[in-house]
Structure 1
Amino acid sequence: MAAEFDQLIAEFERFQSGIRNVDDRFAGLDAMQAQLTELRASASSPDGGVTVVTGPGGAVLDVKFTDAALAKGPQALSAALMSTLREAVGEAARQQVVLVRDHLGDELGLVDQVLETQAEAFGTTVEELRSKLTQEEAAPEDFSDQRVLRQADDAPPAPPARGGSAGDTFLRNLFDEED
C-alpha cells in the first residue's frame, strides 16, 4: 500500500513539474509579444541608394531613395528595391524566429527551417545566413539616446499612498514602532 502511495506521489510531482514548466514557458509571452510588435529590420542596397525598413511579419514600414538611385532609371531602381526588400524582410523573419526561440525554445528547429528556406529563396547558403544571425545577436543594444540619471529639474517620484493592504499597514506599524 505504501509503495502504491509513493508511486502516486511521484506521478503527481511529475505532473506538477510539467505544469510549472508550461507556466514558466508561457509567462514570457507578453514580453515576447511586446518585442515582436517593436521589431524593426533595415536593409540598404550595396550603393546605399535604397533603404527599406520592415516590421513584424516583414511588413514594409518605410522605403527611402537617394537622388542618385532615382537617377539610375526605372529598371536599376526596381532591381535595387526588390533586392533590398528581400534582405529587409529576411532580416525581420530571422529576428522574429530568434525572439520566439529565446522565449519558447527551439525543439522544432524553427531557426534552421527559416535559414534553410531563406538560403534556397535568396540563392545563398545557410552558413552565410547563420553568420548574419550571429552578427545580429551579438550587436550591442544602443542606449545612447536614453537618459540614465534624473535631471535636476525633474520632480522626484511621488511618495506611495498611505492606504494599501493590511500587509502594508503591518509593515509600516512595525517600522514606526522601532523608531
Structure 2
Amino acid sequence: MSGEFEHLVAEFERFQAGIRNADDRFAGLGTMRQQLTELRASAVSPDGGVTVVTGPGGAVLDVQFTEGALAKGPQALSATLLATLREAVGEAARRQAVIVEENMGDDLGLVDQVLETQAVAFGTTVEELRSKLPEEAEAPQDFSEQRVLRPADPPPAPPAAGPSAGDRFLRNLFDEED
C-alpha cells in the first residue's frame, strides 16, 4: 500500500508543480496587458507633412498635417497619408509582437512571423524591418522551457496489472466482516 500511496503523492506533487509553473508563467500577464494598453507608435512622412500615431492593434489615435502637406492637393495628400498610416500600423504590430514575445517566450517565433509578413506586404526585407525594432530594455524572464498545461514529464506507468495493495486491503477488510 505504501507504494501506491507514494505514487499518489508523486502525482500530486507533479500536479502542484504544474500549477506553480502556470502561476509563474502568467504572473506577468498584468504587466504585459499594461504594456500593450500603453503602446504607442508613430510615423512621420518623409517630407514631414503627415504624422500618424497608432496604439494597440494598429488603432489610429492621431493624424496631423502641416500646411505644406495640405497644399499638395488631394491625391498627393492621400498617398502620403496611406504610406504613413501603413508605417505607423506596421510599427505598432512589430512592437506588440516584441512585448508578447518578451513576456510569453518565443516558442512561436511571433516577431519573426510579423517581420516576414510585413516584408512581403511592404515590399522590403526582414533585415530592414528588424532594424526598426526597439532595442531590448532588459532581458525578459524566460519561460520557454516550462510547460503550462501539461506536465514536463510523462506520467509514470500505472502499477502492474492485478489488484493493488489498496484493493487487497479493502477485500480483506470486507471478507473478514462476513
Settle same-fold status: TM greater than 0.5.
Answer: yes
Q: Give deviations 1:55-77, integer Å, cap 9, x for gaps.
A: 11100000011111111111111
Alignment partner, residue 125 of structure 1: 125
Alignment partner, residue 25 of structure 1: 25
Q: Distance between the aligned counterparts of 1:65 and 1:139, measured in 2?
A: 32
SS of 2:131's equivalent in the other structure is helix
Q: Distance between the aligned counterparts of 1:67 and 1:120, measured in 2?
A: 33
Q: In terms of Rg, which structure is larger? A: 2
Alignment partner, residue 45 of structure 1: 45
Q: Distance between the aligned counterparts of 2:50 and 2:14, measured in 1?
A: 55
Cα shift at 1:14: 3.3
Alignment partner, residue 15 of structure 2: 15
Tell whether 2:115 aligns with 1:137.
no
Could you tell me which amino acid in structure 1 is paired with residue 74 of structure 2?
P
- Count of aligned pairs: 138
Could you tell me which amino acid in structure 1 is paired with residue 95 of structure 2?
Q
Tell whether 2:75 aligns with 1:75.
yes
Cα shift at 1:13: 3.3
SS of 2:76's equivalent in the other structure is helix
Looking at secondary structure, tell me which structure has more helix per residue.
1
Alignment partner, residue 116 of structure 1: 116
Q: Distance between the aligned counterparts of 1:92 and 1:35, measured in 2?
A: 12
Question: TM-score if structure 1 supplies the norm length?
Answer: 0.69
Structure 1: where are the runs of 5+ without partners?
A: 141-179
Compute the RMSD of aligned alpha carbons. Answer: 2.0
Q: Distance between the aligned counterparts of 2:137 and 2:32, measured in 1?
A: 19
SS of 2:84's equivalent in the other structure is helix
Q: Distance between the aligned counterparts of 2:61 and 2:35, measured in 1?
A: 16
Q: Name the structure, 1 or 2, with higher relative contact order (CA <8 Å, separation 6+).
A: 2
Closer, same or farther: CA 107–139 of 1 in aligned 2, 3 Å: closer
Same amino acid, percent of matched pairs: 78
